[in-house]
Each structure stands twice: as C-alpha cells, then as structure tokens.
Amino acid sequence: NPNRMWGGRYALGPAEIMEKINASIDFDRRLYAQDIAGSMAHADMLVAQGILTAKDGRAIKRGLAQIRAEIESGKFRFSTKLEDIHFNVEARLTDLIGPAGGRLHTARSRNDQVALDVRLWVRDTIDRLENMLRDLQSALIDRAEEYAATIMPGFTHLQTAQPITFGHHLLAYVEMVGRDRGRLRDCRARMNVSPLGAAALAGSPHPIDPRKTAKALGFDGPMANSLDAVSDRDYVVEFLGAASLAAVHLSRLAEEIVIWCSAPFRFIALSDAFTTGSSIMPQKRNPDAAELIRGKVGRIVGAFVALCTIMKGLPLTYGKDMQEDKEPLFDAADALELCIGAMTGMIRDLKANPERMRAVASADYSVATDLADWLVREIGLPFRQAHHVTGVLVGKAAAKGIDLDKLSLDEMQAVEPRITAAVYGVLTVEASVAARKSIGGTAPANVARAVKEARRRFLGP
Ligand code: ARG
C-alpha cells in the first residue's frame, strides 16, 4: 500500500505538493526526545492498566530506546512520506519490534501526542532560558559592583538629566531580567499539566489513567477537559509573549551598548572578542552582537504575532493550522538563547571609561536640580520658585559659557540674596549622586547595598 499511515481507507498516495505542504518532519524532528519520553510513559501506563501486556510494554520501550540512540547518532532515516516525528518514530518501532509497535498508539492520538511533545519542549526550554537569564543577572550584578561609584550622565529624552552611577544603571536591567524570569516561571507553572488521555479530542473508552502519565512526565496532573487539552496552545503564546518582552529588554540594553560604544560617547569599549572590523575602514570596531540582538527582537515578536494570528480563528479542537506553531516557536527560542548568551558575554567583556562618563555627566548643567533642591532645603523656597531661580542662574552661566559652580557668589546673590557659599557643596556630580540615598536611588552607598540584595534575591543563597 502506498500509504502506510492510513492505508485502510486510502488506495492512493498523496499528491507530491500535498505531501510537501503536509509534512512537518523537517522541523518537528526536534521533538524526538519529548516524543519518545511521552511514548514511554504512555506505554508504562497502558501496561499498568492492563491494556498492554508487560511483554509488549518491554518490547516497545526497548524499541523506543533504540530509536532514540539511532536519532542521536545520526543513523535514523527520517522520511517525508511519514509526515511527522510521531509517524516516523512509530513506523520505525513497528519495523523493529513487529506488531507490538502498533499497540503503542492505543488510547492516544497524534493530537494529544503533539500537544504533549510541544509542552515538554517548551518546559525544557523555559528551564534552560531561565537559567541563562540568571547568568546574565549574575554578570550584570558583578559589573554593577565594580562600577558602583562610577559616575555617568543619566538621560531622559537622551538629553543629560542628572548624574547617576553606572552600577545603578546596570542594576536597572537586573530588575527587568528578574521580571522576565518571573514571567517564564509563571508560564511554566500554568502550562505544567498533561494533555495525554484526551486522545483525538473526546477522551478514551479504554481504562486509561492520565494521572499516571502526568506524574511520570513531571506534570502537576492531567488537563481537566479533553477538548481544551488538544486545542490549547496558550503556553506557546505565553512563552512567546514572555520571550518577546525579554527580547525587548535585551534590545534596549543592546541599543545602549551601541550608543555607548560610538565615538561621540566613548562611555565603554568592547574587546576584539565582541567587535568586528570593516572590510574597508581599518579603524572600525563595530558592536555587531549588540546590533544583532536589537535586530533579532523582530523575529521573536514576529513569532508571538504569528501564533496569535494562527490561533485566533480556530474552532475547537485541533486544526492542522496548529502545526504552524513549531517553526516560529523554535526560531524564537533559538534567537532568544543566542541573544542572552551574547549579551552575557558583552556585559562581562565591556570596559567602562569613567573619565569620559564623568566629563559628560558634569556638563550641561546636570546638577541644576541639586541647586533647586538646596534652595528648597536651606532657605525654604517653594520648589516652583526654586526651579525658577535655578533656571535664571543656568541662563546666566550658559550666557557666559561656564558651569554653574563657576558663577561667583555675588552673581548668585544678585538673583537670590539668601544664597550662601554653602551652595557650592552641592554643585558637583559626586555630591549629586551621593545625596540620592532614597529607596532605589543612585547613591554609590545604595548601589553597594543593592548589589548584595540583588545577589540574594536573584542568585539564591
Ligand atoms: N504534525 C502534527 C502537528 O504538528 C501532529 C498532529 C497531527 N494530527 C492530526 N490529526 N493530523 O500538529
């Protein structure tokens, strides 16, 4: 029979183009380990329930173990004619062990099987990515400790706003990555239920025990509704949502690295290991990894949009449309894994240029707010009025092309007679950052403490 999969009803094989659009083996072979683990748990359950003999169960597990070894050693011959990973494994199993191989699919459909495989794959991927994000946090925290007192300009609108510390800036990303990890964990907790037992869509007439397979595969339990079990891809969408936001965060940091590396900024430098040269301009050191992280967010967010679009019009339950979940999922996970790894490498690699950062932080009247705050604190001006007085003083200094602390006391008192020489004490970038000791503020003392806290909160005891 030309059709090994559903030969009973079919006399003829599929059109070539039908085979081509239908086959998923080129990408879903990636699920082989999950598929085989699921089949082993299913076989054990069938034996325990008396649906399969112990002898058949043993033959099936032996065959599956051999198939896994064949795949891992590159000896397995995948066939497009056999459509997907499920049929490829099952066909080989029957070749290996005979008719017992055909009993494995009792009380199961590819619908609950694929739902299981993808779930297991997403769960493994979440664990791996969360671990990598933890490593990224560890790198950021180490560098934050090193640069706890390194002054740089803080920006709003990419305009110099107030002096901050580089360590504080890096710790902001530690918080963002911490939320990304939390979102992945939330997704994992919600998705950790087993679809096995739903079979095609309605459940099974065999005396199966889905609690057994769920437990064996590390799930909290079986899914409550068989229709939901085979048609739910929420976990893929949630994972891609969490991945998108993580990628957005990495992209923002990547953009900052690109800016900081640029000649007009020169805040940081990356080593040879994380830059590339130009084929024509000998002087170039381009931060390609940062640019690629910024670029790859497109395919990750694209995958999220693709999944939402695939699912939005699907009636219950399974539709072949859902086969389209895998390529975007795999691609996005691969891209995110690369991005996290490359970002961790860059963070460990980068070298700050504290002189340059401090010089830029001191320019453009970055301590103007400190002057206004002094007027509020020391002579009791309402903040609005202090803002106005400071604005006039900044205008005076700017007209003369000098910094605020280069205005003489006479010049200041001409604007506000109650100003004293003590004001000069707050007009340095060091005083500015040191004063910002409020909760979550940028003071070096805070950063040193925040580093310890972050290690405890995110890296464990
Ligand atoms: N390759 C399919 C997928 O990825 C497996 C499930 C097919 N089920 C079916 N009834 N055609 O979705």
Instruction: Report the pLDDT value the prediction gives residue 283, as an integer from 0 to 100.
Output: 82
Overall average pLDDT of the 91-97 stretch: 97
pLDDT-derived band at 285 (thresholds 50, 70, 90) equals confident
Overall average pLDDT of the 9-17 stretch: 88
Does the pLDDT at position 199 exceed 70?
Answer: yes
Instruction: Report the pLDDT value the prediction gives residue 279, as an integer from 0 to 100.
Output: 82
Nearest residue (CA) to ligand 1, atom 12: 323
Instruction: Report the pLDDT value the prediction gives residue 428, as an integer from 0 to 100.
Output: 94
C-alpha to C-alpha distances, 226 to 231, 300, 336, 400, 431, nearest whole angstrom: 9, 30, 32, 77, 64
H or E stretch at 251: helix 234-261
Using the mean position of ligand 1's atoms as its centre, give its distance from the Cα of residue 227 in Å. 15
Residues with CB under 6 A from ligand 1: 24, 28, 84, 110-111, 114, 318, 320, 322-323
Overall average pLDDT of the 283-308 stretch: 96
pLDDT-derived band at 333 (thresholds 50, 70, 90) equals very high
Q: Write the single-letter amino acid at 255.
A: E
Residue of 110, 116, 118, 317 with the most ligand 1 atoms within 8 Å of its CB, for mutation = 110
* Closest by CA position to 203, among listed 279, 69, 112: 112
**Residue in 138, 231, 278, 279 annotated catalytic:** 278
Overall average pLDDT of the 330-336 stretch: 98
Q: In this predicted model, what pLDDT tens digit does every residue of 229-249 receive, in sequence order?
A: 999 999 999 999 999 999 999
Instruction: Report the pLDDT value the prediction gives residue 12, as an integer from 0 to 100.
Output: 84
C-alpha 452, offset from chain centre:
24
Nearest residue (CA) to ligand 1, atom 7: 110
As beta bridge partners, residue 165 has: 151
Ligand 1 atom closest to the Cα of residue 84 is 1
Does the pLDDT at position 68 exceed 90?
Answer: yes
Return d(Cα 428, Cα 408) in angstroms, integer.
15
Instruction: Report the pLDDT value the prediction gives residue 267, as an integer from 0 to 100.
Output: 98
Instruction: Report the pLDDT value the prediction gives residue 2, as an integer from 0 to 100.
Output: 56
Using the mean position of ligand 1's atoms as its centre, give its distance from the Cα of residue 454 in Å. 44
Instruction: Report the pLDDT value the prediction gives residue 389, as an integer from 0 to 100.
Output: 97
Q: In this predicted model, what pLDDT tens digit does every residue of 110-167 receive, in sequence order?
A: 999 999 999 999 999 999 999 999 999 999 999 999 999 999 999 999 999 999 999 9
Count of CA atoms in the C-beta half-sphere (13 A) of 154? 21
For residue 431, give every residue at least 6 positions away whose Cβ sits within 8 Å of its Cβ, in sequence order, or none: 367, 370, 425
Using the mean position of ligand 1's atoms as its centre, give its distance from the Cα of residue 195 in Å. 14
List the alpha helices (DSSP H) in 147-233. 166-191, 210-216, 226-231
Using the mean position of ligand 1's atoms as its centre, give its distance from the Cα of residue 356 in Å. 58
278 is an active site residue: yes
Strand residues in 82-214 grouped as ranges (E): 151-156, 159-165
pLDDT-derived band at 337 (thresholds 50, 70, 90) equals very high
Does the pLDDT at position 105 exceed 60?
Answer: yes
Does the pLDDT at position 1 exceed 70?
Answer: no
Q: Which residue has the tokens 């940062």?
A: 290
Average pLDDT over the chain, rounded to an integer: 96
Does the pLDDT at position 203 exceed 60?
Answer: yes
Return d(Cα 3, Cα 10) in angstroms, integer.
7
In the three-class reduction of DSSP (H, G, I as helix; E, B as strand; rest coil), residue 83 is classed as coil
Q: In this predicted model, what pLDDT tens digit does every residue of 340-381 receive, in sequence order?
A: 999 999 999 999 999 999 999 999 899 999 999 999 999 999
pLDDT-derived band at 280 (thresholds 50, 70, 90) equals confident
Using the mean position of ligand 1's atoms as its centre, give its distance from the Cα of residue 269 in Å. 50
Does the pLDDT at position 39 exceed 80?
Answer: yes
Higher-confidence residue of 447 and 14: namely 447
Instruction: Report the pLDDT value the prediction gives residue 423, as an integer from 0 to 100.
Output: 96
Overall average pLDDT of the 429-444 stretch: 97
Nearest residue (CA) to ligand 1, atom 11: 320
Q: What percent of the chain has a predicted confidence (pLDDT) above 70?
A: 99
Confirm if 232 and 195 have CB atoms less than 8 A apart: yes
Q: What percent of the chain has a predicted confidence (pLDDT) above 90?
A: 93
Instruction: Report the pLDDT value the prediction gives residue 282, as an integer from 0 to 100.
Output: 79
Using the mean position of ligand 1's atoms as its centre, give its distance from the Cα of residue 308 in Å. 19
Residue of 30, 311, 323, 327 with the most ligand 1 atoms within 8 Å of its CB, for mutation = 323
Overall average pLDDT of the 72-77 stretch: 98
Return d(Cα 80, Cα 173) in angstroms, integer.
45
**Residue in 157, 279, 408, 438 annotated catalytic:** 157
* Closest by CA position to 173, among listed 461, 456, 458, 444: 458
Does the pLDDT at position 61 exceed 80?
Answer: yes
